[in-house]
Amino acid sequence: MGIEEEKYCTEYTGFEMMLVSACRQIKNDDIVFNAFHWPFLAVHMAKLLHCPDLFAVLEVGQFQDELPRPIKMPYSISDPVLVPNSLFVGDSIDALSILQRGEITIALLSTSMVDKYGNCNTTVVGPYEEPIYRLPGGGGATEIAGMAKRLIWLIDDHIKRRLPEKLDFITDPGYLEGFNSRIKAGYPPDTGPEVIVTPFCIMKFDPESKEAYLDALHPNISIEQVKENTGWELKIAKEVKQIDPPTLKEIEVCRQTMRDAIDQYFILKPEWTTYL
């Protein structure tokens, strides 16, 4: 942050805090895998805030380091606006190979459910053969979770159902059964989930057991609140950090990005958009 003291926003929603917190994870020299749908917003914000040079790769095969001008939020990874504004356009194998070669330094993924080892389920709720709720399937997230160096999970609602101890189905690999099971399954050792960002907090992963623990709180959220709404017996860091609220600049960019997303038919819940 600058030499001048930052001016912070005092009124914002948990969803906005999640986006800002996720956006702060991205560095200007990162090579980011830009995935649908909340990561789209966080990456877009990073580009406008502290990452003007950010290099982004998208699943259909686009590599780019500039936003379309005039600024337009792509409605999805397959928006044609992404073509004349790219450095390279190939096919999906190009995009997924840059990931497999280990060149993607960070990836963000928003998802429905993440367990304590950072595995994700976007396939099915209930038994596989007789689903209570059928979900879309993994798409490219299976590879992104498998091969990005730093993986950031975004969960837009911090409730037990979204953060269960164990999943009905593993669509995207986190640390699988914990400890060294991810490496045994053949994933590169320098990859895997680094943080889970929710409207309440940031969780990180124990270096040995690979279990997620509470690392830092968003403002005005208590440790108890996080524990009560997490689906497993959540471990707590020795010193829980406090995350700064959004700065005025961050919140301005965040809200504009949310408005741009709504224009492209993204569905945002009313409680997320109170201040738009």
Partner 1 sequence: MPMKEAIEKLVHDDELVFFGGFGNGMTFSAAHEIIRQNKRNLKVTKCGGGIMFDQLIGAGVTNHIVTSHCWNGTGPQPAYNLRRSMEEGIPQKIIYNEQSLFMINMSFFAGYMGIPFVPIRSVVGTGIYDHPKEVGLKAARVKCPFTGEEICVVPAINPDVGVIQVQRADSEGNAQMWGLIGDTKYGINACKKIIVATEEIVDKKVIMESPERTIIGAHKVDAVVHEPWGAHPSSMQGFYYTDLEYRFKYAKETKIIEDWENWLEKWVTGVENRQGYLKVLGDKKINKLKAKPIIQGAVNYGY
Which of the residues are catalytic?
A: 59
- Report if residue 84 touches partner 1, rule: CB under 8 A: yes
| 3: exposed, middle or buried (Cβ count in 10 Å: 0-12, 13-18, 19+) | exposed
| Strand duo 113-114 + 55-58: pairing | unpaired
d(CA 176, CA 199): 24
Residue whose CB is less far from partner 1, 52 or 136: 136
Contacts with partner 1, 178-197, as mask; x by CB under 8 A: ---xx--xxxx---------
- Report if residue 140 touches partner 1, rule: CB under 8 A: yes
Q: Which stretch binds partner 1 (CB under 8 A): 49-57, 137-145, 202-210, 223-231?
A: 137-145
- CB 94 to partner 1: min, Å: 10
Q: Which stretch binds partner 1 (CB under 8 A): 8-16, 25-33, 125-133, 201-209?
A: 125-133
Q: Is the dihedral of CA 247, 249, 251, 257 positive or negative?
A: negative
- CB 134 to partner 1: min, Å: 4
The helix (H) or strand (E) run that includes residue 46 is: helix 38-48
d(CA 176, CA 217): 26
Q: Which two tokens stand for residue 23?
A: 């956006």
Residue whose CB is less far from partner 1, 141 or 201: 141
- Considering only residues 141 through 180, tell me which ones interact with partner 1, judged by CB under 8 A: 142-143, 146-147, 169-173, 176
Contacts with partner 1, 9-48, as mask; x by CB under 8 A: ---------------------------xx-----------
- CB 260 to partner 1: min, Å: 13
- Who's near 3: CB < 8 A, 6+ residues apart? none
- Report if residue 87 touches partner 1, rule: CB under 8 A: no
DSSP state of 210: -
- Report if residue 209 touches partner 1, rule: CB under 8 A: no
d(CA 112, CA 100): 24
d(CA 59, CA 93): 9
Residue whose CB is less far from partner 1, 39 or 146: 146
Q: Where are the beta strands (DSSP E) in the chain?
A: 31-34, 55-58, 62-64, 88-89, 106-110, 113-114, 120-121, 124-125, 133-134, 150-154, 193-197, 201-205, 212-217, 235-242
Judged by the rule CB under 8 A, the positions of this chain that interact with partner 1 are: 36-37, 59-62, 75-80, 82-84, 89-93, 96, 100, 123, 128-129, 131-140, 142-143, 146-147, 169-173, 176, 181-182, 185-188, 264-267
